[in-house]
Amino acid sequence: MSSDDAVSRLPARAFRLVVTGGGTGGHTYPALTAVRTLQARLGAAGRALDVLWVGTAEGLEARVAAAEHIPFITVATGKVRRSSNPLKLVSPANVRDMGRVPLGVAQARSIVSDARPDVVLATGGYVAVPVGLAARMCRRPLVVHEQTVRLGLANRALARAATRFAVSSASSLQYLPEGSRAAAVVTGNPVRPEVLSGYADKAVEALGLGRFDRTRPTVYVTGGAQGSQQINRLVGESLPWLLSQANVIHQCGPAHEAGLREQATVLPRELSDRYVVMGFVGPELPDVLALADVVISRSGAGTIAELTALGKAAVLVPLATSAGNEQEHNARHLQDSGAAVALLGTATPDTLREAVAPLLADPVRRADIAARARSLGRPDAADRLVDVLLSVVTGE
3-class DSSP state for residue 315? Answer: strand
Distance CA 371, CA 58 (A): 40
Are the CB atoms for 386 and 38 separated by under 8 Å?
Answer: yes
> Which stretch of DSSP H or E encloses residue 250?
strand 247-251
Are the CB atoms for 135 and 120 separated by under 8 Å?
Answer: yes
Nearest to 14 by CA among 54, 61, 47: 47
Total number of residues shown for the chain: 396
Query: Which is it for strands 72-74 and 164-167: parallel, antiparallel or unpaired?
Result: unpaired
Name residue 20's beta-bridge partners.
Answer: 54, 122
Name residue 247's beta-bridge partners.
Answer: 218
Strand order in the sheet with 341-342: 275-278, 247-251, 218-222, 294-297, 313-316, 341-342
The DSSP symbol for 2 reads -
What is the separation of C-alpha 161 from the centre of its chain, rounded to a whole number of angstroms?
A: 24
pLDDT per residue of the chain (396 residues) written in tens, 0 to 9:
556 678 888 888 999 999 999 988 889 999 999 999 999 999 999 999 999 999 999 999 999 999 999 999 999 986 654 545 454 544 555 555 556 678 999 999 999 999 999 999 999 999 999 999 999 999 999 999 999 988 888 999 999 999 999 999 998 999 999 989 999 999 999 999 999 999 999 999 999 999 999 999 999 999 887 888 999 999 999 999 999 999 999 999 999 999 999 999 999 999 999 999 999 999 999 999 999 999 999 999 999 999 999 999 999 999 887 767 889 999 999 999 999 999 998 999 999 999 999 999 999 999 999 999 999 999 999 999 999 999 999 987
What is the separation of C-alpha 131 from the centre of its chain, rounded to a whole number of angstroms?
A: 21
Query: Can 3-191+379-394 and 194-376 be said to share one CATH topology?
Result: yes
Distant-in-sequence, close-in-space partners of 22: CB < 8 Å, separation ≥ 6: 28, 31, 55, 56, 59, 60, 61, 62, 64, 123, 125, 127
Name which CATH class applies to 3-191+379-394.
alpha beta
What pTM value is reported for the model?
A: 0.88
Are the CB atoms for 221 and 251 separated by under 8 Å?
Answer: yes
Name residue 159's beta-bridge partners.
Answer: none
Residue 57 CB coordination number (10 Å): 10
Q: At what angle do helices 25-44 and 60-67 cross, to 10 degrees?
A: 30
Name residue 19's beta-bridge partners.
Answer: 53, 121
For the chain, the domains span 3-191+379-394, 194-376
Residue-level pLDDT at 320? 80
Distant-in-sequence, close-in-space partners of 159: CB < 8 Å, separation ≥ 6: 144, 151, 165, 176, 177, 180
CA angle 226, 280, 326 (to 5 degrees): 40
Four-way CATH pick for 194-376: 1.10.1740.10, 1.10.510.10, 3.40.50.2000, 3.40.50.10860: 3.40.50.2000
